[in-house]
Chain A
């Protein structure tokens, strides 16, 4: 069954502000957690991942935080741009498989 899920289906953010997309997971045995971005008509695109033994990882304009105590994962996007408009999925990797959560649509307000 599904082991990851998202708190909010839609998030609207002012251009230039920071975006925070949240995700809860249930399976403590996951090896990695991964964030994907999917634009309309395209396949998912890798953003960033984090190993289960880490609590923070930074990329270019993105930061992923992992709180194993409450089984919570978040993706922070700094200085949100119009090109960030997409659906964002969290996913977990275990048993050689990647299992996706429900997705959050990010709207950028001008």
Chain B
């Protein structure tokens, strides 16, 4: 299992500004994942963050808008840049565990972002 700490837990930001979200895992993991969950919707994968290489972004997400850092095997940051109200969402980081019995993803509690 994994314990994931995310901060901030919530923030209200002015449009045009940027917010950096931090994610700390209690064990070393190769890949960390960032998701967005818009109000009343499912989780959408933004990108996969690997230590020592650039993040891999999903369709519809670009590095200029969502730069990601992965300085070591337990930590990652996601920045939401030049925010607009459409960026209001919950952002979650996740790690995956592939076991012999289960395939499981562990999530942080999320960062609830409101852009005004």
Chief secondary structure at chain B's binding surface: strand
B42 and A46 contact, CB distance less than 8 A: no
B109 and A42 contact, CB distance less than 8 A: yes
> Which of B12-20, B66-74, B77-85, B98-106 lies on the face that meets chain A?
B98-106
Is B116 on the interface with A (CB-CB < 8 A)? Answer: no
**Number of chain A residues close to chain B: CB under 8 A:** 22
Is A83 on the interface with B (CB-CB < 8 A)? Answer: no
Is A25 on the interface with B (CB-CB < 8 A)? Answer: no
A97 and B109 contact, CB distance less than 8 A: no
Contacts of A34 in B (CB 8 A): 103-105
B48 and A93 contact, CB distance less than 8 A: no
Q: Least Cβ distance of A95 to chain B in Å? A: 10
Which residues 86-100 of A sit at the B interface, judged by CB distance below 8 A?
A: 89, 91, 93, 96-100
Q: Least Cβ distance of A11 to chain B in Å? A: 16
Contacts of B115 in A (CB 8 A): none
Chain A 45-68, CB within 8 Å of chain B: the 1/0 string? 110010000000000000000000
Q: Which of B31, B42, B59 contacts A101 (CB 8 A)?
A: B42
Chain A 36-47, CB within 8 Å of chain B: the 1/0 string? 100000111110
Contacts of A45 in B (CB 8 A): 107
Contacts of B53 in A (CB 8 A): none
Nearest B-chain residue to A6, judged by Cβ? B42
Most chain B CB atoms below 10 A, which of A34, A44, A89, A93: A44
In the bound assembly, the distance between CA atoms of A31 and B31 in angstroms comes to 18
Nearest B-chain residue to A103, judged by Cβ? B42
B104 and A46 contact, CB distance less than 8 A: yes
Is B44 on the interface with A (CB-CB < 8 A)? Answer: yes
Is A72 on the interface with B (CB-CB < 8 A)? Answer: no
In the bound assembly, the distance between CA atoms of A53 and B71 in angstroms comes to 37
- Given A98-B96, A100-B42, A101-B42, A46-B102 contact (CB < 8 Å): yes
A-B contact sample (15 more), CB < 8 A, given A34-B104, A100-B35:
A43-B110, A45-B107, A46-B105, A49-B102, A49-B104, A93-B96, A96-B31, A96-B96, A97-B33, A97-B48, A98-B96, A98-B103, A100-B45, A102-B41, A102-B42
